[in-house]
Amino acid sequence: MSTSPHAAYQLTAVEVYPRQALSGFQLAPDGRQLTFLFKRDERVEDLTGSGQRKVKVTPIADLYFLSSDGGYPRPFTDSGDISNPVVWSPDGKWLAFGQKGGLRIAPAAGGETRTIYSGDTYDSPLAAGDAYLGYPRWSPDGKSILFATREEPQAILRLVSRDGRMHRYVFSVEGYITGWDWSPDGKHIVFVTRGENGLVGDVRLLNIETDEVCLLWEEDNYEYQQPVVVWSPDGKHILFRSNRSGWAKLWYATPDSGEVKPLTAGDWDDYAFRFSPDGKQVVYASREAQSGNGDDLWIIPFPGGTPQRLTHHAGVNIPLAWSKDDRVYYWHSSPVEAGDLWVVSGSGGEARRLTWNTPIELERKLRAPEEVLITNDDGTRISTLIYLPVYYRDGEKYPAIVWIRGGPTGVCRYAFAPFYNWLANQGYVVITPNYRGSIGHGVEHMAAVASEGLGKNDLSDVLATGRYVRTLPYVDHSRGVGVGGHSWGGYLTLMTVTQAPDEFSCAVAGAAISDWMIQQAQTEVRYYDRWLIGGWVYDQPERARDCSPVNFVERIRTPLLVYHGEEDNDVPFAQAQMFTAKVKQSGAKIEYITYPAEGHSNRKLENQKDTLDRIRVFFRQHLQSWNFRDNPSANQEQY
């Protein structure tokens, strides 16, 4: 077997699925230092032998301190058991740790860590930039800590004193509590709840002295951008993110009157915001001026004025803190940078990098994609990202693969996504579309995947992407175009081979929905699937049948690779068994691999390696040129 001349550019499984990460940056009240988590590895255990059929993943992480001017980080812990970011007390003397097993505090100067609440705290599923609103929150006077627990089916807000002697139940709801913030005077808490159906978020106000709770407003289209709320530093306003205009924008309200006004406007998303210490300005991330679904930091006067762009930094940029000396700390990542902490003056100027998180040997294997907007036959504009091999030169041609990301309410962004580089560096042009159902392109674009659009609008956009890639001068489509995806991407892959069997020459589907009857009956995200299909499957039997690839396997003419984790709770494994059995019975060509104890995504390194290797070999055999040496056809004899 010959060695590829581009072997040095091939990403390893550990590079595709990195074990190391920085997260949870928190600025000390005096602005002199930051804390962050450094996950240096993870422990993956197969619990099958203990009677459980699952893989348990435990992060190995520690807390580090970093000067706000940069420099060399110093470890605060070395046990490897810190699973959540810490939160500084208002006076900067204490750190609170909320994690499984209890809520703990420790002196910031070092010393013994004490448990003040025994029991798992709840990790709110908020995106970067908003995540701090789901951490334990010190009261403004520093005497107590507000946090949440999850006791199915309820989420509960709790309060505990710093010495651990006072425990107080605050509020509970059937569903989830996704973020909370204290008023500056400590008399009120504003928080967001989410019902079990997951489609609506309620913004509520609680009087901590009387326990009175009132509903301020409801937020629809929860899956687009989750609503989050914070108090202004003077306590007179609540600043929040809402999708009510059809985009994620910033709004503010006066709690007493309930009057709501827009702070930002425009047909693009604004999110992840921070007040300046004096409350006169707000910094936020906005997609207004960047292509490729990236964003920059913008600053706007509060409560209104003309926004000014603060950074010109290609990639994803998310504000994390604004110090009293007018420095804005932010997280930056890009297709060639895994993610690091940067700082820039709030009045503008050159940004400065404070951490270095991407190994040099990985950087040379990465190439940033190009954003291309294509138009479907029905006029829909589709944002796509095109990845080329890092060794690509003008005049070269490569086979193409349409790789469909999961979701559907996700987005392909100008951010770190090494899988696409891994696939491109195998010798392909890889294109990934933001098909209808994606976020980042307005609520209307997202909602077009639900009900009657399910398996139609999104599929149409994937097929349009396949047609477009054939027109590119650097694409060799002599053996056709490949298609693949995981989760919703796997579902759309199966839809292509059953609804448009001649469009692609080979297909890879991982953790794919194939039967909506089984999917909705057994999944742990049943209410989300109810929104997608437009009701329960027994209310929409025709739609469930027409959108289930399992009912059309006789149409398959495309070689197919299918893989699935046997303990997948998001896309239940039972449907993969039925689908593959029917495909084999039909006589279609299929390769099928299952992973015992794995869930929706493989976590064991050997399984990750196996999946990548199978995808590599499958696409090589079906897309790349035949030769007598290392890629023989079925009619050639390998020597």
Percent of the chain's residues with pLDDT above 90: 76
Q: pTM here?
A: 0.93
| Residue keyed to tokens 């042009």 | 429
pLDDT digits (tens, 9 = 90+) for 202-261: 899 999 999 999 998 888 888 888 899 999 999 999 999 999 999 999 999 998 877 889
Are 65 and 34 contacting, i.e. CB atoms less than 8 angstroms apart? yes
Q: What per-residue confidence (pLDDT) applies to 628?
A: 62
Are 15 and 362 contacting, i.e. CB atoms less than 8 angstroms apart? yes
CA dihedral 445, 177, 333, 474 (to 10 degrees): -30
Bond preceding residue 277 cis, omega within 30 of 0: no
For the chain, the structural domain boundaries read 122-262, 362-623
Q: What per-residue confidence (pLDDT) applies to 243?
A: 93
Rounded Cα gap, residues 226 and 522, in angstroms: 25
122-262 has which fold? Neuraminidase (2.120.10)
Bond preceding residue 153 cis, omega within 30 of 0: yes
Rounded Cα gap, residues 520 and 541, in angstroms: 12
Lowest mean pLDDT among 1-10, 72-81, 174-183, 373-382: 1-10
Rounded Cα gap, residues 254 and 237, in angstroms: 5
Those residues whose C-beta lies under 8 Å from the C-beta of residue 615, and which sit 6 or more positions away, are 423, 484, 508, 561
pLDDT digits (tens, 9 = 90+) for 184-209: 999 999 999 987 666 778 899 999 99
Q: Look over the chain and give the mean of its residue pLDDT values, rounded to a whole number.
A: 91
Are 145 and 159 contacting, i.e. CB atoms less than 8 angstroms apart? yes
480: left (phi over 0), alpha (psi -120 to 50) or beta: left
Strand ranges of the sheet holding 260-262, from the earlier edge strand across to the other edge: 229-231, 238-242, 249-253, 260-262
Confidence of residue 570 (pLDDT cuts 50, 70, 90): very high
DSSP bridge pairs for 174: 154
| Residue keyed to tokens 């425990």 | 167
Percent of the chain's residues with pLDDT above 70: 96
Strand ranges of the sheet holding 94-99, from the earlier edge strand across to the other edge: 86-88, 94-99, 102-107, 114-117
Instruction: Find the angle CA(363)-CA(336)-CA(326) to the nearest 5 degrees.
Output: 115
**122-262 and 362-623, same CATH topology:** no
Q: What per-residue confidence (pLDDT) applies to 283?
A: 98
Q: Would you say residue 47 has pLDDT above 90?
A: no
Q: What's 362-623's CATH class?
A: alpha beta
